[in-house]
Amino acid sequence: MKRLDLQKTPRALQQFIRALLHHPEIVEVETNGQLLLRILPAPQLSPNQRTALLEEGRALVDKARARNEKLPASTIEREVRQALRKVRHQQR
C-alpha cells in the first residue's frame, strides 16, 4: 500500500484533503469521463462495502489486463505516451 505524507504535498492538496474530513463523502476523481480514483473516508466502509469495492477494483484491473493482453507492446506504449502527453498538457 502506498501512503501519502500530507506534510510533503503542495498546500492546495493539503487543503483539499483536510476539507474532505469535514464533509465525509465519497469523492471520485476523473479525467475525460474516465474514473481515475475514488476517495472514501475509512470509517464509512462496512466490511461488506470494503469487500465489494475491492472486488470492483480487481474486476477493473482484470478487464484492463485482458484488453492489453491482445495488444502489441508498441500499441500500449503509444497509448501510454499519448495519455501522458494529454495529462501534461492539461496541467499547464
C-alpha span between 26 and 36 (Å, rounded)? 13
In this structure, are 86 and 52 located in the same domain?
Answer: yes
In this structure, are 79 and 38 located in the same domain?
Answer: no
C-alpha span between 92 and 62 (Å, rounded)? 33
pLDDT digits (tens, 9 = 90+) for 15-51: 888 887 777 678 888 888 888 888 877 666 788 988 9
How many domains are there within the chain? Answer: 2
**3-class secondary-structure state, position 37:** strand
- For residue 74, the enclosing domain spans 45-92
- All three cell numbers of 92, joined, read 499547464
Please, are residues 60 and 38 in contact by the beta-carbon 8 Å criterion? no
In this structure, are 61 and 36 located in the same domain?
Answer: no
CA angle 19, 9, 80 (to 5 degrees): 105
pTM of the model: 0.43
66 vs 90 pLDDT, higher one:
66
Q: How many CA atoms lie within 13 A of 15 on its CB side?
A: 3
pLDDT digits (tens, 9 = 90+) for 67-79: 889 899 999 999 9
Q: Is the pLDDT of residue 66 over 70?
A: yes
In this structure, are 84 and 58 located in the same domain?
Answer: yes
In this structure, are 50 and 92 located in the same domain?
Answer: yes
In this structure, are 51 and 72 located in the same domain?
Answer: yes
- What are the residues whose beta carbons fall under 8 Å from the beta carbon of 43, sequence distance 6 or more? 24
Q: Is 45 exposed, middle or buried (0-12, 13-18, 19+ CB in 10 A)?
A: middle
pLDDT of residue 43: 67
pLDDT of residue 11: 92
